[in-house]
Each structure stands twice: as structure tokens, then as C-alpha cells.
Homo-oligomer: A and B are copies of this chain.
Amino acid sequence: MRTAAVVGTGLIGTSIALALSRRGVMVHLDDTDTTAARTAEALGAGTLRPPSAPVDLAVLAVPPAHIGAVLARCQSESLAHVYTDVASVKSRPHEEVAAAGGDPSSYIGGHPLAGGERSGPLAARSDLFEGRPWVLTPSSRTDRSALNRGLELVSLCGGVPVIMDTAAHDRAVALTSHAPHLISSMMAARLEDAESEHIRVSGQGLRDVTRIAAGEPRLWGDILEANADAVAEVLEAYALDLDRLIAILRAQRSADDEVRRQAAGELEEMLRRGNRGRARVPHKQRSQPAEYVAVPVAVPDQPGALARLFSAVSEAGVNIEDVRIEHSLDQPSGLVELLVEPASVAGVRRLLDANGWVRQETPI
């Protein structure tokens, strides 16, 4: 791939453009929002000049409802040889490409599983897709050359390609993304009219389960509409589970010991199933899976303290792979965890001890 076009320079489009530009691909940027497009260009994601000849690949990073129309327009202008999109639903865009009179042979559906809390080009990162799954959904009418161009795109962005058919993809995201999003919104919505004092009595759990409820309503409305049947099926399964949970909780007030005992057993089994399901959720992946060892060290809240710590460590020629500030450094003393290769741990410990640092290794 030598040339590409990115239509839509939001978080995903700009991140793709940055990744391709870093790999030497000439990227042409386009967005109806000219501020977004200029920002992406200023970040080094590509050029605003239109291509003089069809590019190898055009990435349509536009809202799902627009893909059919944008594809038809781009094809009529011969923007590219091959087209892909980044929408989180796939059946509907494939249908709409056909309905809009587009050519399905040069279109390969795509969905990179990456994103972030912030949107827009300023939140873009060239390594956003590093190690992340990127689904490609070729149809029976997709040319082999389009599929291979899609695979090349994923590879250039550092993603892990996953080929699925459109219906399986949409059922999968209904289960793992769209239905959970609606449930998160539903739980958050019940807080709208709650007493302030009640909401104050909350912790990290509530923050986690409602985080995605902050998503953009129009965008999520579009996504949910485009995948309505698959999402409704997941919600119907939840509704059955919910009815059962309510019955279990109501049974806790039964006068019959045996009824209560059975309900308690069912409740615990449900929680255990939750444990097992949660354990299947993929961890955040590092691009290079590595096991680092954390060496915790107390750091006084003084200018230069962190510098002295890192100097002590670097004397050993040890590379600190990552750093975690465990306690905020606005405390009198903070706890810093140095993540180092297992082979370096002993040396780091000796060095810290020799330099008078207080390691916070647990005594057991």
C-alpha cells in the first residue's frame, strides 16, 4: 500500500491515518468538518490535498448510517481501488452499499476494536490498534484483492485481523458491547432523579458500570438501531435472568428455611457464573506480552526524589519498563512501583537498598 484516503478524521480515522503515515503511506484526509481535518493534518496524519489518481485504499471512518451513501459517492469519483469502513455494525452497511448502488466487490467491511473515552482527532494515537482485534467481514461478492488490502491495513496499524461473517459479528457485538451499553445507560438513567445523598454513597463500582453511559446519544442511537434485532435478543435473555434474580431475592424473606437456603444457593451460583464469565473477558493487551515484576519503593514528596530514584536504578543499566504511582504524590510520601524484567529484579533491589531507598515489599 503506497497511497490511502481517510474520509472522516475523528478519533478512529485520524489514528488510522497516523499509523499509515508512520509506515510511509501517503495519506489524503477528508472531513466535512474542516476544523477536524485541519487538526488531523497538523498532527501529521496526512495531507488535505485530494489525490491525483485513485488511492490503493480508502477508509470510510464515518457514522454507520452514512456508509452506503459515502461509498457510492466515493466510487463514482474513483477515489480508491478498494474501500473499507470502521463501523461497529456490519450487516446494515453491507445491505446499504447494495441499496445505494455501490459496487460491493471493492468493499470490505471492517471494525477495529479500539477506541477511547475521548473522541476527535486530538485524542488520536498511531498505536491505538496495537494488538487489538480488527474484524473484517468479506461478503460473497467481495473481491479477494479487497480482502487482502483490508488485511494489509490491519497489519500496518498493528492490529490482529479476525475474519467473521456479518451476522456473527453483529451478534457478537450485541453481546459484548451494544447490550451492555444499553444496560449501563439504564442503570445510570435511574440515578437521574435519585436523592443526592443516596448517590453520594457510591464507590468505584458505580463509576465503572456507568462509564459507558456517558457515550454520545446520537451515535449510540444509530449503532443500536442498526443492530436492533441482535441487541433485543440479548436483552430478552437478560430479562429472563432479571426475573429469576428478583424471585430469588424475594425468597430471602420466606419463613421457610429450606426456601431461603435454596435461594441463597441459587444466588451464589449466579455470582459464580458471573465470576467465570468475567474471567473470559480479554485483558487489555500489550503489544509485546511481557511479565514484568513490580518493585515498590517509598518516595518522599520532595523535588528531585523521583529523579534520584531513577538515577539509582539506571546506574545498574536496568530499563524501567513502566512506572506506577500507587499513592498520589501529594501525600507526604508516595509509593512508586518500578516494573522491570524479572532478570533485573535482584539487581534493582540491591541498588535501592545500597542507596537508602525504602522498599515496600510485603513482609510475607
Contact = CB atoms under 8 A, between A and B. Distances in A.
Interface in A305-364: 305-311, 313-314, 317-323, 325, 327-331, 362-364
A303 B319 contact: yes
A330 to B, nearest CB: 5
Contacts of A275: 188, 213-215, 217
A39 B190 CA distance: 42
A269 B137 CA distance: 32
B189 A274 contact: yes
Contact of A242 (B213, B235, B283, B330): B235
Contact of A228 (B122, B217, B253, B363): B253
Contacts of A132: 203
A224 B267 contact: yes
A181 to B, nearest CB: 6
A329 B320 contact: yes
A129 to B, nearest CB: 11
A203 B191 contact: no
A323 B325 contact: yes
Given A209-B184, A228-B249, A282 B363 contact: no
A199 B281 contact: yes
A280 B191 contact: yes
Given A177-B206, A242-B238, A304-B314, A250 B228 contact: yes
A194 interface: yes
B225 A264 contact: yes
A231 interface: yes
B208 A209 contact: yes
A256 interface: no
Given A212-B208, A322-B328, A225 B267 contact: yes
Taking each of A235, A304, A313, which has the highest tally of chain B beta carbons within 10 Å of its own beta carbon?
A304
Nearest to A316: B303
A284 B207 contact: yes
Interface string A216-236: 011011001100110110111
Q: How many copies does the complex hold?
A: 2
A197 B172 contact: yes
Taking each of A133, A188, A214, A305, which has the highest tally of chain B beta carbons within 10 Å of its own beta carbon?
A188
B249 A224 contact: yes
A213 B278 contact: yes
Contacts of A48: none
A290 B322 contact: no
A189 B273 contact: yes
A209 B175 CA distance: 12
Taking each of A177, A189, A272, which has the highest tally of chain B beta carbons within 10 Å of its own beta carbon?
A189
B232 A201 contact: no
A200 interface: yes
26 contacts: A113-B201, A132-B203, A164-B197, A172-B195, A176-B203, A177-B201, A180-B206, A180-B209, A181-B205, A184-B274, A188-B277, A192-B277, A194-B280, A199-B282, A213-B277, A218-B268, A220-B271, A287-B328, A305-B314, A307-B310, A307-B313, A308-B314, A310-B311, A321-B328, A321-B330, A322-B328
Given A185-B270, A189-B276, 19 more contacts: A133-B201, A168-B197, A168-B198, A172-B201, A173-B201, A177-B205, A184-B274, A186-B238, A189-B273, A202-B282, A221-B268, A224-B249, A224-B267, A287-B330, A304-B311, A306-B314, A306-B323, A321-B330, A322-B328
